């Protein structure tokens, strides 16, 4: 059975990678494992938020490199699968794969095809797929990553951020993601909430500002090192429960 896909998108600086990393930690702790984490942002840094070492990205697997390096007696398909497995970071409860950028000059086309094929081969092995996207959601638009069962659009509480979130929702609609599959996560909230109804956005969670996130960043520590009883961790745990209730029983323990 195809596992549900939860994708996170938002403009830079809103905390989408922080939220993605904390969701991964929370889902694994809840027993939603194994989980596949996909860093589909070309500026790959989800591994840093998770505190794991990224050995390779799919963006580095250019077609010309692979065609030159295939060992004698090994088929092209088998070699691609081997390189994909080498790029896969295996951790307790989850695996991580990063898209990255292509090396040198060239486009994403080959790496996109590689990621698409590899993910299709892997999906049956996981309970949930968690995707960290860039704002434009290029890989969803290209079909590299399947249309999500739930798209979380992360914004800061300012009006400009909310307007950007509304534009991201419009982009999602243009590539086939129903509005009913989109939900807003407002990050770094104070006591006042931004006006959302006039933008057609459905709020799912309001996450508080947490100095532990800033301190971890300043100390160079992974986000998942912050305490599980910190305000943001508690709020993300509630968000994770809401997500599981929305995507159905497929990922539930």
pLDDT in tens, 147-174: 899 999 999 998 888 999 999 999 999 9
The answer to whether residue 249 scores a pLDDT higher than 60 is no
250 has pLDDT over 90: no
**For helices 109-122 and 76-87, what crossing angle results, to 10°?**
80
Quick check: 220 pLDDT over 90? Answer: yes
Q: Is the pLDDT reported for residue 5 higher than 60?
A: yes
The average pLDDT across 215-222 equals 96
Whether pLDDT at 107 is above 60: no
**Residue 176, Ramachandran bin (φ over 0: left; ψ between -120 and 50: alpha; else beta):** left
Q: Distance (Å, rounded) from C-alpha 107 to C-alpha 103?
A: 9
Question: What number is the average pLDDT over the span 11-35?
Answer: 95
Average pLDDT, the chain: 85
Band of pLDDT at residue 253, cut at 50, 70 and 90: very low
What does the pLDDT read at residue 100? Answer: 75
67-76, 147-156, 225-234: which range is least confident on average?
67-76
How many contiguous H segments (helices) and E segments (strands) does the chain have?
9, 8
Domains of the chain in sequence order = 5-247 (3.40.50.300)
Cα dihedral across residues 101, 107, 165, 179: positive or negative = negative
Phi, psi values for residue 85, rounded to 5°: -60, -35
d(CA 142, CA 137): 9
Q: What is the pLDDT of residue 218?
A: 95
């Amino acid at each position: 059975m195809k596992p549900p896909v939860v994708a996170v998108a938002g403009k830079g600086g809103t905390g989408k990678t922080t939220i993605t990393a904390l969701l991964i930690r929370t889902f694994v702790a809840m027993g939603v494992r194994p989980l596949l984490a996909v860093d589909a942002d070309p500026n790959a840094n989800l591994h840093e938020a998770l505190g794991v070492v990224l050995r390779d990205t799919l963006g580095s697997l250019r077609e010309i490199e692979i065609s030159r390096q295939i060992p004698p007696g090994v088929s092209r398909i088998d070699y691609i699968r081997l390189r994909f497995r080498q790029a896969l970071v295996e951790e307790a409860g989850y695996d991580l794969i990063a898209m990255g950028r292509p090396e040198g000059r060239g486009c994403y086309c080959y790496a996109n095809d590689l990621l698409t094929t590899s993910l299709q081969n892997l999906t049956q092995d996981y309970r949930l797929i968690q995707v960290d996207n860039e704002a434009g959601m290029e890989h969803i638009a290209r079909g590299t990553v399947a249309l999500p069962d739930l798209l979380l659009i992360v914004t800061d509480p300012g009006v400009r951020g909310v307007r950007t979130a509304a534009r991201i929702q419009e982009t999602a609609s243009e590539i086939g993601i129903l509005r009913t599959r989109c939900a807003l996560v407002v990050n770094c909230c104070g006591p006042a909430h931004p006006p959302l109804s006039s933008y057609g956005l459905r709020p799912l969670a309001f996450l508080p500002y947490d100095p532990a996130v800033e301190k971890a960043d300043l100390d160079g520590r992974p986000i998942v090192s912050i305490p599980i009883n910190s305000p943001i961790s508690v709020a993300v745990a509630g968000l994770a429960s809401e997500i599981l209730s929305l995507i159905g029983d497929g990922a539930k323990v």
